[in-house]
Amino acid sequence: MRKLLKYALYDILKSRFALIYTVFLALVAISTYQVTEDMSKVSLSLMNILIMIVPLISAVFATTHFYNNLEFIELMLAQPVRRSQVFFSQLLAVVCMLSLSIILGFGLPMVLWGADSSLIMLLVVGIILSAVFTGFAFLASVLTRDKAKAIGISLALWIFFSLVYDGLVLYIIYTFADYPLEKATLAMVMLNPVDLGRILMLLQLDISALMGYTGAFFKQFFSGNLGTILAIGTLAIWILVPNYAAMSVFKKRDF
C-alpha cells in the first residue's frame, strides 16, 4: 500500500499539475489580501472562489488521473495485490495532492498576512470538498470505460451541487412560503455538501443574514456543539459514501 501510494504521488507531482494548482491558489489569495485588509472580506472572497473552483478542479483532475493511470492499475491488478489497496492508493494520492495544494496555496499567504478562525475553516472546507468530489469522480470513472462520459458525469455532479441545487431549493421555498420550512430547508442543506460548507463558512463570518430568512435558524442550530457535530458528521458521510460505492464497483469491475 505504501509503495503504491508513493508511486501514485510521484506520478502526480511529475505531471506538474500540483505546482500549477498551488501557484494559482496562492496568486488568488495574495491578490485578495492586496485588495483589502479586512479578514472578513478576505474570507468571504476566498470562500466564493473556493466553493466554485475547488470542486470543479477536484472532479476533473481526479477523473483524468484515473484514466491516465488505467494501464498501471490494470498491471497492478494482475499482481498479488488486493484491489482495495490499488484503489485507495490512487484515491489517497489525489486527495493528498489537492489538500496539500490548498494548504500551501491558501495557507502560506495566511501565515504572511494573518488569519482568523474563518480562514482556518476555509482550509477545512476546501479539503473536505476536494475529498467529496474526488470520490464522485472515481465513482464516475469506475462506472464507465468512456473517459469523456466519466468527465461529463463529474461535471454534471459539480453543476448540480454548485448551481442547480440551490435553484431547486429556492423554488421549493418560494412555492411553499406559507409553511414553516426551517427544518425542511436544513434537511435539504444536508443533502448538498457545497451548501453545507458554505453555511459553515458564513457562520464563522457571523453574516448568516446572507443566507436569507432561514439564516437565524441556521445560526442558532449550527453555532451549538450539536450542530457542529452533525455538520461534520454529515460531511464525513459525504466523503465516505461515494468513495465506498466507487471501491465496491472497482472490486467487481472486469478490467
26-47 pLDDT, tens per residue? Answer: 999 888 888 877 777 788 888 8
Of 103, 102, 76, 106, the closest CA to residue 89 belongs to 76
Buried b (16+ CB within 10 A) or exposed e, 17-26: bbeebbeebb
How many domains, in total, are found in the chain? 1
Q: Is the model's pLDDT at 9 over the cut of 70?
A: yes
pLDDT value for 252: 81
Q: What is the rounded average pLDDT of the residues 85-89?
A: 88
Full-model pTM: 0.89
Residues above pLDDT 70, as percent of the chain: 90
Q: pLDDT averaged over the chain? A: 83
117 or 49, greater pLDDT: 49
94-138 pLDDT, tens per residue? Answer: 999 999 999 999 888 888 887 777 778 888 899 999 999 999 999
Give residue 224's pLDDT band: very low, low, confident or very high (50, 70, 90). low
Cβ(7)–Cβ(90) below 8 Å: no
pLDDT value for 3: 78
CB atoms within 10 A of CB 160: 13
Q: Is the model's pLDDT at 217 over the cut of 70?
A: no
Residues above pLDDT 90, as percent of the chain: 30
Q: Which domain holds residue 85?
A: 2-252
Q: Alpha-carbon distance 125 to 135, whole Å?
A: 15
